[in-house]
């Protein structure tokens, strides 16, 4: 397998007044192509901060992040943004869909951003079929259930064929039935398409869907130690 993401002694400190908050402390990770990895821990343990660092949305205080061998600290903001657009698909707890646009239009925007303005409507239909929503192309978010909205968000993350999907608490706003559907959709994408996925969750049961589990506490990896 090929290493696609690596962190070395990764740390993030936030200054709040006169107090330093150590959100992430000395994290070392290696993610191989095709892996499905969960990072689990209680709220406030640094999971989401770690995801932002891995995705190039935040800069580390210490340590380094590599995407396919590229040190994110050694490139400029526009180059990091290009890596996010072309190599990483993000799925968030709050879906972050444009409420005034239908599913197809939400995917069109993501495709335009990632593919230099071009749109492939056949690709959109294929991805919507993949997430089981081929009949919801023209529905706006408020016309969809919360579970369906999250599946559209997953379709958006997949639309530009990313190297890696970073999913931050993707079931946090869902009931148990829809959580199950979303988690097993991610599992199917990993198993059948070889999609590399990192799942951030506070839910120990949800974390079991992954093939490898990493536990965090107080900004540090405590398992495997």
Q: 220-223 and 70-71: which strand pairing?
A: unpaired
What confidence score (pLDDT) does residue 118 get? Answer: 80
- Chain position carrying tokens 């190297």: 163
Nearest to 202 by CA among 93, 59, 52: 93
Show contacts of 118-122: CB within 8 Å, 24+ apart.
none
Model confidence over 4-17: pLDDT tens digits?
999 999 999 999 99
What is the structure's pLDDT at 114?
79
pLDDT (average), residues 183-190: 97
pLDDT surpassing 60 at residue 77: yes
Paired strand residues for 90: 166
Q: Work out the average pLDDT over 55-69.
A: 96
pTM of the complete model: 0.94
Q: Which residues pair with 111 in a beta bridge?
A: none
- The whole-number average pLDDT for the span 155-165 is 96
pLDDT band of 225, cuts 50, 70, 90 = low
Mean pLDDT of 144-173: 96
What are 125-157's pLDDT values in tens digits?
A: 999 999 999 999 999 999 999 999 999 999 999
Domain boundaries, the chain: 35-58+76-214
Q: Work out the average pLDDT over 193-203.
A: 96
pLDDT at 116 over 90: no
Report the mean per-residue pLDDT for the chain: 95
Q: In the structure, what pLDDT confidence band is assigned to residue 169 with cuts at 50, 70 and 90? A: very high
The predicted model gives 76-90 an average pLDDT of 94
Q: Torsion over CA of 97, 185, 157 and 139, rounded to 10 degrees?
A: -30
Q: What is the CATH number of domain 35-58+76-214?
A: 3.40.50.300
Residue 123: per-residue pLDDT: 95
């Amino acid at each position: 397998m090929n290493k696609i993401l690596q962190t070395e002694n990764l740390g993030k400190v936030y200054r709040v007044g006169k107090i330093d908050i150590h959100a992430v402390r000395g994290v070392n990770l290696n993610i191989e192509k095709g892996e499905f990895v969960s990072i689990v821990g209680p709220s406030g343990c640094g999971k989401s901060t770690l995801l932002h660092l891995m995705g190039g949305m935040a800069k580390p205080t210490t340590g380094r992040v590599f995407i396919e061998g590229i040190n994110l600290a050694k490139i400029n903001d526009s180059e990091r943004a290009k890596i996010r657009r072309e190599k990483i698909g993000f799925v968030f707890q709050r879906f972050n869909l444009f409420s005034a646009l239908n599913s197809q239009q939400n995917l069109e925007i993501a495709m335009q951003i990632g593919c230099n303005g071009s749109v492939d409507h056949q690709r959109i239909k294929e991805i919507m079929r993949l997430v089981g929503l081929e009949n919801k192309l023209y529905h706006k978010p408020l016309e969809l259930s919360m579970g369906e909205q999250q599946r559209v968000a997953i379709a958006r993350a997949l639309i530009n064929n990313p190297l890696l999907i970073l999913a931050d608490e993707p079931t946090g706003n869902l009931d148990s039935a829809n959580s199950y559907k979303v988690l097993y959709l991610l599992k199917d994408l990993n198993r059948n398409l070889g999609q590399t996925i990192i799942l951030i969750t506070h839910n120990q049961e949800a974390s079991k869907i992954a093939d490898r589990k990493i536990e965090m506490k107080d900004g540090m990896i405590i398992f495997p130690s």
